[in-house]
Amino acid sequence: MDKPVLEVNHLKKYFKTPAGQLHAVDDVSFAIEKGHTLGVVGESGCGKTTLGRTILRLIEPTSGEIYFNGEDITKLKKDNMKAIRRKMQLIFQDPYASLNPRMSVSEIIKEPMIVNKMCSSKKELDEKVKELMELVGLAPRLVNTYPHEMDGGRRQRVGIARALATNPEFIVCDEPVSALDVSIQAQILNLMMDLQEKKQLSYLFITHDLSVVKHISTEIAVMYLGQCVEKAPTEELFAHPRHPYTKALLSAIPVIDISQRGKKPELLTGEVNSPVNPVSYCRFYSRCKYACDKCKEHSYELKEISPGHFSACHMNFTGEIE
């Protein structure tokens, strides 16, 4: 097994709010190998975005370790961190809001290279921009256009080119296709997978769309209220979801199959609880149809229930829920 590019151990991020401690990310651990993708799924407010940002230290973690190529980056000083950031990039959800409207395409793609002093001459810089634009499938004629002149798909390509400008090894993709139409979404997904193959990139792919995550990920982590409740290789997770929340989540997706019609999905009752001062036992307890008194005796623990397959439900440990 290769050494993982990124390893995260017991990462926590709490925010102070007037109502109490908000547990945005609570004890999350995982590792991503070179050229692999970890998909992070969950509903809004479960801490997916905070997780992505905390890993890049755009938000300082409350506690926990983040190893990038074997180095714990939570202990790095600002200057050293800057050098590491070149290797870790972020693609944002909203291609409309994440590009500066007053900069042209070439200026946007150039900026990270200028900031990191990667090119010695203006000519080299222009060459690099041309290369990157070709890589992400942007026509050379668009070099001087501004974001407002482009559609969402092209804007997202600019965002990807910008992320690739510093030759990163690891990219946090925060819902990169959620704002796009399906036909454009498919184009961008194909592009991201091609780039991954070409450059051996590792992705942390954050999304709420389960069909997208299944398509692109090698492994999937399901989050609920800041905690990872189940983690397994993609095929395994979809074939044998074990945690009650994952089961409900998977059955809630409307499948494009008319023969499935009329089949009642496993409906969850109620809504996502508040992440402020959460309960000490299973956070899914109040919505779980399997909930019993024993659930209150177990605190959070992610256990391996079959090779590579982790779950946080104590009933999975004993085999009560298959």
**Where does this chain bind other proteins (CB under 8 A)?**
43-44, 151, 153, 181-187, 189-190, 193, 208, 210-212, 214-215, 235, 238, 248-249, 251-258, 260-261, 264-265, 267-268, 271-272
CB of 65 to other proteins, least distance (A): 31
Least separation in angstroms between CB 253 and other proteins = 6
Closest by Cα among 291, 270, 266, 271 to 281: 291
Cβ proximity to other proteins, 257 vs 322, nearer residue: 257
CB nearer other proteins, residue 265 or residue 308: 265
Residue 244 token pair: 């009650």
> What distance in Å separates the CA atoms of residue 26 and residue 20, rounded to the nearest whole number?
15
Nearer to other proteins, 113 or 180 (CB): 180
Q: Nearest approach, Cβ of 135 to other proteins (angstroms)?
A: 17
Q: In the bound complex, what is the minimum distance in angstroms from residue 138's beta carbon to other proteins?
A: 13
**Of residues 1 and 258, the one with the C-beta less far from other proteins:** 258
Closest distance between other proteins and the C-beta of residue 104, in Å? 20
Angle at 73 between CA 230 and CA 70, to 5 degrees: 75
In whole angstroms, give the CA distance from residue 206 to residue 213. Answer: 8
Which phi and psi (to 5°) does residue 310 adopt? -110, 145
Rounded CA separation 248/246 (Å): 5
Beta bridge partners of 224: 227
- What is the rounded CA–CA span in Å between residue 14 and residue 226? 10
Distance from C-alpha of 19 to C-alpha of 175, rounded to nearest angstrom = 29
Which is nearer to other proteins, 31 or 184 (by Cβ)? Answer: 184
Q: How far is the CB of 69 from other proteins (least distance, A)?
A: 29
The H helix count followed by the E strand count for the chain is 10, 12
SS3 state of residue 25: strand
**Is the Cβ of residue 118 or residue 193 nearer to other proteins in the bound state?**
193
**Strands 6-17, 20-32: parallel, antiparallel or unpaired by DSSP?**
antiparallel
CB of 179 to other proteins, least distance (A): 10
* Nearest to other proteins of 115, 255 (CB atom): 255
Q: Give the residue with the Cβ less far from other proteins, 32 or 248.
A: 248
Residue 116 near residue 85 (C-beta atoms within 8 A): no
Smallest distance from other proteins to CB 322, Å: 21
Q: Can you read off the two tokens belonging to residue 5?
A: 């590019």
Q: Which residue has the tokens 């997916």?
A: 48
State how beta strands 63-68 and 71-72 pair. antiparallel
